[in-house]
Amino acid sequence: MSIDTHAGHTRVLIAGGSSGMGLALAESLLAEGAEVVIVGRSQARLDAARRRLPDGGRLRAIAADITDEDAVAALCERSGPLDHIVTTAADIAGAYQLLPALDLAAVRRVVDSKLVGPLLLAKHGAPVLAPAGSITFTSGIAAYRPAPRGAAVAAVNGALASLAAALAVELGPIRVNVVSPGWVDTPIWAAVAGDAKDATLGAMAKRLPVGRIGTPGDVADAIRFLMGNGYVTGTVLHVEGGHRLA
């Protein structure tokens, strides 16, 4: 589905665009002719992403922390008019712990990166979005199939559905949606599973009805649907290979 909303290039800001799902989305959008701004905290990862992505004068990379309101306000001012805002950013390192060992600082990083950051992007991004534009948040399967050690991530992912619904009402006609991935092979798994990454993902692949783990491209395709369909708002789109069933 084309995401063009007006004559000329579609303009998309992707927080978390330097790796994983955000990087895959940036790559597909650039291939279609969009103008893309990728945002991340690490200048080194942004530089690496720029080397990988096609440019053609349509790619910008901006280092910013979306948990810092002043930084988000400056980011949205610097980005200029936009058609879509997407955030795939997440800082979940250290958050997967049983309750007695749960580190509050790690919980706050999850809340800040996955809930406060998206809220700030909506607050400061809505004024520069086109009326037919959209905002897409990224939650995850932990909200719908919670497991031991996952309370903090499950809670934040679940909250994003309510946030999107409320903002869809408040910001309309700008559309606000959530994509909820299942297990996707991205760099974040190195922090979650360490050396057990391959075995962990392989075991889940055998459980899923589709017989495989997701790819960043699977999620990018889903986000592109949410961006391009002007009649979808306040919705959670599950992209999880049937994980809620298995």
Q: What's phi and psi for 243, nearest 5 deg? A: -60, -35
Residue 72 is assigned to a structural domain of this protein? yes
Residue 243 is assigned to a structural domain of this protein? no
CATH (domain of 28): 3.40.50.720
- Compute the distance between CA of residue 148 and CA of residue 79 in angstroms, rounded to an integer: 40
The contacts of residue 78 (CB under 8 Å, 6+ apart) are: 62
- Compute the distance between CA of residue 97 and CA of residue 168 in angstroms, rounded to an integer: 33
List of the chain residues with pLDDT < 50: 1, 5-7
**pLDDT score for 62:** 98
Residue 113 is assigned to a structural domain of this protein? yes
- In the set 18, 79, 139, 180, the catalytic residue is 139
Q: What share of the chain is helix, strand, coil (3-state, %, to 5)?
A: 50, 20, 30
**pLDDT score for 115:** 98
**What burial letters (b/e) apply to 33-71, b meaning 16+ CB within 10 Å?**
ebbbbbbbbeeebbeebeeebeeeebbbbbbbbbbbeeb
Domain ranges, residue 105: 11-238
**What is the Cα 39 distance to its own chain's centre?**
11
Residue 244 is assigned to a structural domain of this protein? no
**pLDDT score for 7:** 44
Residue 84 is assigned to a structural domain of this protein? yes
Residue 214 is assigned to a structural domain of this protein? yes
Active site includes 139? yes
**pLDDT score for 191:** 67
Residue 103 is assigned to a structural domain of this protein? yes
**pLDDT score for 193:** 73
**pLDDT score for 56:** 81
Number of domains in the chain: 1
